[in-house]
């Protein structure tokens, strides 16, 4: 993607499938809140749900992602009804929600620390898309721009909580295991999409 080697069809497959993950994010954040006994943490964590779902219909990160899909050539209706989402991608995204529902809240927080790497990735995409895919309107990249602000804030919040709460070897090991789970889940999604759209 960053080298300009994807076809329009491959970009469309990626954006349409990734929507299943985008829609899972506020649900996993709600699961973290529901399991967390600390009201200060819950109040702070709610911002993530607002960021993705928006404060009203037609706003928020999920809407920005749908608009990216439309700019890439996927009709809005096909983005919204998720007809292109592969079963394995859906299963991977749902496994993340289930993980956050069923594990201690601090482990679910640790799994979110993949956000530490998001700003660099977003900057690469913001630079690569106009250079390699000039047919995509620059307004469609708003999701990536929004994450340049949100991801550093969110990742520092999550990292601070993990460092404060995971103070034993056992809790630190569980935090690393949670992050490893999330990384493997993302790799599974990428592998499934690649296999389906490789030419």
Domain ranges for the chain, please list them: 8-197
Tokens of 59: 């706003």
C-alpha–C-alpha distance, residues 50 and 56, integer Å = 9
Mean of the pLDDT values across residues 94-115? 98
pTM score of the predicted model: 0.95
| pLDDT class of 21 with cuts at 50, 70, 90 | very high
Q: How far apart are CA 199 and CA 191, in angstroms?
A: 14
- At 199, is the pLDDT very low, low, confident or very high (cuts 50, 70, 90)? confident
66 vs 16: CA distance, rounded Å:
8
| Residue 178 reports pLDDT greater than 80 | yes
Indicate if the pLDDT at residue 8 is higher than 80. Answer: yes
What is the structure's pLDDT at 166? 98
Examine the pLDDT at 165 and tell me if it is beyond 80.
yes
Output the CA–CA distances (angstroms, integers) from residue 145 to 76, 109, 140, 148, 168, in the order listed. 21, 23, 10, 5, 37
CATH class of 8-197: mainly alpha
Average pLDDT over residues 13-27: 98
Q: Mean of the pLDDT values across residues 46-73?
A: 97
Give dist(CA 106, CA 135) in Å, integer.
43
Mean pLDDT of 151-170: 98
- Check pLDDT > 90 for residue 25: yes
pLDDT beyond 80 at 159:
yes
Q: How many CB atoms lie within 10 A of CB 181?
A: 17
Per-residue pLDDT band at 135 (split at 50, 70, 90): very high
Query: Average pLDDT for residues 42-46, to the nearest whole number?
Result: 97
The whole-chain average pLDDT of the chain stands at 97
| Residue listed under structure tokens 């994010």 | 25
């Amino acid at each position: 993607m960053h080298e300009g080697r994807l076809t329009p069809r491959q970009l469309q497959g990626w954006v349409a499938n990734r929507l299943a993950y985008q829609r899972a994010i506020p649900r996993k954040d709600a699961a973290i809140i529901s399991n967390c006994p600390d009201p200060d943490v819950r109040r702070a964590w709610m911002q993530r749900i607002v960021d993705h779902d928006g404060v009203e219909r037609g706003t928020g990160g999920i809407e920005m992602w749908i608009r990216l899909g439309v700019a890439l050539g996927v009709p809005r209706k096909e983005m919204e009804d998720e007809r292109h989402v592969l079963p394995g991608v859906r299963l991977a995204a749902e496994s993340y929600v289930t993980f956050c529902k069923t594990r201690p809240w601090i482990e679910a927080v640790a799994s979110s620390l993949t956000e530490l790497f998001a700003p660099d990735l977003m900057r690469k995409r913001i630079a690569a898309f106009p250079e390699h895919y000039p047919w995509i309107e620059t307004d469609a990249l708003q999701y990536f721009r929004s994450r340049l602000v949100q991801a550093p804030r969110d990742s520092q919040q999550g990292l601070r909580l993990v460092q404060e709460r995971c103070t034993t070897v056992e809790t630190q090991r569980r935090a690393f295991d949670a992050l490893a789970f999330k990384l493997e889940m993302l790799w599974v999604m990428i592998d499934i999409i690649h296999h389906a759209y490789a030419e």
